[in-house]
């Protein structure tokens, strides 16, 4: 054990590290880079065998980002963004993984990242003002600060199907895909789930499999990706104004530059003009672009219906069999209220003779069998099954760890009725415990890399401030947390999002509290709120002096 260097190591109990970071995806890697630059002793624990997070685990065929590569990348180093060349408009999983690995090497981060190590618990020792962290390798360590860089979609969910252990074929989850390639050639394959992952993998499996059965419970809206190679001159043109584009992104609701903000409501235009607007977006490709056609698509149901009807028409025009087209057509929720999917040839796939869509809403899956799958009404012989069944999103990876704050309060208990945070960054009763893109922040409703950088920058500033001011513990005031939770809920309730059952609300996980978890007030607005809070002396936060027995006081009172 060595003394903490944060404040010269005089008043605090000695700790193994100043900061423990859980996870080495985009968030953990960048947090390590920033905090190490403060001169802190940082340790990152990563469950996977390499860095990469989401892009390490989701290596299924067709896995690709939905955000343009030039946007879905770090902005913190101009050298990095100038030297890296993205091959395609939307990067494939392998390219993004190579990029994160390059970042880890380029900034010499690997020496502080311990892979193949899962964090099992993080328990606050109130007296010492330290977090005790226990890991799957049987070791434990202490740190003053704990940063959860655990990701929003990192706890895969396998529905509780009977008979899974008896299934004699191979089965896979998209979020836990094996490193070695999987060959479906000549096989009868079943894919369960038609969210973003299913919609990406289905067209590719269809090209290999002898027969593909897609088991769909709820149809999703999808718009074309129109992915293409990035021409060297276009990439160079973007790089020559990279600083400008990054600044632009900061001022958008979703952290992505290059999309002119809509100026009209959908019903301001005639039907003919509106359809021409949607058609142009459809041809250009991209989900952000499509939902940004009009100002009110996510707040006004009548406006939303015009966009939803447009996509419904496209499905009917693309899918030749009218009954299959009807099954693929979402009717029960507004477009965009569940994550709008991006695809390459998804609807066209159902015109192939070897592909069958099975409606498991009207005929639910009853059990897996040794040779396949049985619904209430039919039997499907299968050689392989792909679960594209999603994640226990946003809170899942946090709740998976035994986290205990003041008075040994488990986070699982505090959040039993839904997550409660201030700004999605911290939660009362868990001092010096930060969450990157936590519930109550824009997170999945923004460009994740942009959201991550903003959060890590804020956390780094906060930890740096504590060190500079010789302060000990920071956490939100209960009132600030209550007000923020109310604001997050009110903001969501003013939109169409809560009208859909989705992983945004936790409704995909039986027994999970139904709360709309992301902040949908816009990344730009949120960033300004965070900046204001900091400028106001960390408004809404309380801090203690460095002495272990010092009483908490409003942060502003203690910061010079």
- Residue numbers of the site for ligand NAP (CB under 6 A)? 64-66, 153, 159, 174, 192-198, 200, 215, 217-218, 339, 342, 360, 365, 388-391, 444, 503, 508
Residues 6 or more apart in contact with residue 83 via CB below 8 angstroms: none
Nearest distance in Å: CB 153, ligand NAP: 5
106/224 Cα distance (integer angstroms):
35
Q: Which two tokens stand for residue 518?
A: 């992301």
120-156 burial: b if 16+ Cβ within 10 Å, else e: bebbbeeeebbbbbbbeeeeebbbbbbbbbbbbbbbb
- Report, in Å, the least distance between residue 103 CB and ligand NAP: 19
Which single residue brings its beta carbon nearest to ligand NAP? 195
* Rounded distance between C-alpha atoms, residue 123 and residue 319, angstroms: 54
Closest distance of CB 228 from ligand NAP, Å:
16
Which residue lies nearer to ligand NAP by CB, 114 or 367? 367
Looking up tokens 């606050």 gives 124
Q: How far is the CB of 363 from ligand NAP (least distance, A)?
A: 11
Compute the least distance from the CB of residue 112 to ligand NAP, in Å: 28
DSSP code string of 41-110: -EEEE-SSSSS-THHHH---TT-B-SS-TTTSS--S-HHHHHH----BSS-BHHHHHHHHHHHHHHTT-G
- On whether the CB atoms of residues 484 and 529 are closer than 8 A, the answer is no
Q: Pick the closer one to ligand NAP by CB: 135 or 200.
A: 200
* Residue whose CB is less far from ligand NAP, 99 or 215: 215
Which of 141/204 has CB closer to ligand NAP?
Answer: 204
Q: Which of 555, 431, 549, 559 is nearest to 13 (CA)?
A: 549
Question: Closer CB to ligand NAP, residue 32 or residue 388?
Answer: 388
Q: Which is nearer to ligand NAP, 204 or 529 (CB)?
A: 204
Q: Which is nearer to ligand NAP, 46 or 66 (CB)?
A: 66
Task: Tell me the closest approach of the beta carbon of residue 198 to ligand NAP, in angstroms.
Answer: 5
Alpha helix (H) residue ranges in 474-554:
478-493, 523-535
Nearer to ligand NAP, 4 or 227 (CB): 227
Place of tokens 């946090």: 398
Residue pair 552/543 in contact (Cβ under 8 Å)? The answer is: yes
Q: What are phi and psi of 528, to 5 degrees?
A: -65, -40
| For helices 93-106 and 26-37, angle between their N-to-C axes, nearest 10 degrees | 10
């Amino acid at each position: 054990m060595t003394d903490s260097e944060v404040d010269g190591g005089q008043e605090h109990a000695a700790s193994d590290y100043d900061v423990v970071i859980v996870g080495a995806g985009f968030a953990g890697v960048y947090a390590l880079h920033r905090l190490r630059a403060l001169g802190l002793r940082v340790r990152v624990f990563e469950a996977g065998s390499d860095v990469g997070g989401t892009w390490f685990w989701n290596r299924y065929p067709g896995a690709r980002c939905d955000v343009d590569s030039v946007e879905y990348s770090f902005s913190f180093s101009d050298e990095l963004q100038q030297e890296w060349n993205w091959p395609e408009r939307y990067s494939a999983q392998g390219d993004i993984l190579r990029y994160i690995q390059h970042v880890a090497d380029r900034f010499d981060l690997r020496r502080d990242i311990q892979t193949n190590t899962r964090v099992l618990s993080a328990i606050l020792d109130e007296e010492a003002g330290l977090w005790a962290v226990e890991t799957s390798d049987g070791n434990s360590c202490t740190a003053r600060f704990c940063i959860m860089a655990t990701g929003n979609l990192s706890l895969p969910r396998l529905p509780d199907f009977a008979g899974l252990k008896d299934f004699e074929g191979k089965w896979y989850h998209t979020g836990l895909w094996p490193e070695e390639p999987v060959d479906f050639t000549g096989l009868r394959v079943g894919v369960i789930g038609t969210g973003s992952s299913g919609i990406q993998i289905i067209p590719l499996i269809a090209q290999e499999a002898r027969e593909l059965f897609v088991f769909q419970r709820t149809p999703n809206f999808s718009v074309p990706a129109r992915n293409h190679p990035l021409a060297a001159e276009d990439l160079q043109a973007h790089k020559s104004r990279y600083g400008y584009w990054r600044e632009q992104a900061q001022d958008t609701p979703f952290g992505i530059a290059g999309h002119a903000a809509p100026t009209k409501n959908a019903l301001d235009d005639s039907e003919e003009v509106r359809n021409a607007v949607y058609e142009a977006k459809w041809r250009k490709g991209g989900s952000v672009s499509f939902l940004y056609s009009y100002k009110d698509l996510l707040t006004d149901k009548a406006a939303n219906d015009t966009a939803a009807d447009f996509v419904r028409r496209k499905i009917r025009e693309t899918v030749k069999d009218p009954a299959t087209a009807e099954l693929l057509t979402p009717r029960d929720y507004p477009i965009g209220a569940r994550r709008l999917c991006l695809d390459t040839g998804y609807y066209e796939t159902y015109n192939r003779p070897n592909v069958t869509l099975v409606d498991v809403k009207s005929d639910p899956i009853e059990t897996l069998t040794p040779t396949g799958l049985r619904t209430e009404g039919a039997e499907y012989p299968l050689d392989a099954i792909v679960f594209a069944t999603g994640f226990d999103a946003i809170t899942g990876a946090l709740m998976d760890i035994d986290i205990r704050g003041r008075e040994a309060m488990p986070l699982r208990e505090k959040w039993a009725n839904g997550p409660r945070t201030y700004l999605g960054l911290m939660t009362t009763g868990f001092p010096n415990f930060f969450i990157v893109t936590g519930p109550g922040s824009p997170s999945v409703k923004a460009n994740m890399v942009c959201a991550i950088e903003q959060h890590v920058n804020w956390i780094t500033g906060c930890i740096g401030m504590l060190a500079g001011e010789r302060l000990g513990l920071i956490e939100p005031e209960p009132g600030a947390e209550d007000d923020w939770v109310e604001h997050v809920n009110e903001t969501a309730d003013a939109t169409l999002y809560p009208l859909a059952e989705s992983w945004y609300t936790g409704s995909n996980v039986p027994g999970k509290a139904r709360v709309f978890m992301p902040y949908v007030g816009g990344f730009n607005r949120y960033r300004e709120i965070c900046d204001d809070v900091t400028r106001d002396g960390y408004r809404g936060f309380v801090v203690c002096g460095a002495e272990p027995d010092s009483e908490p006081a409003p942060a502003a009172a203690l910061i010079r």
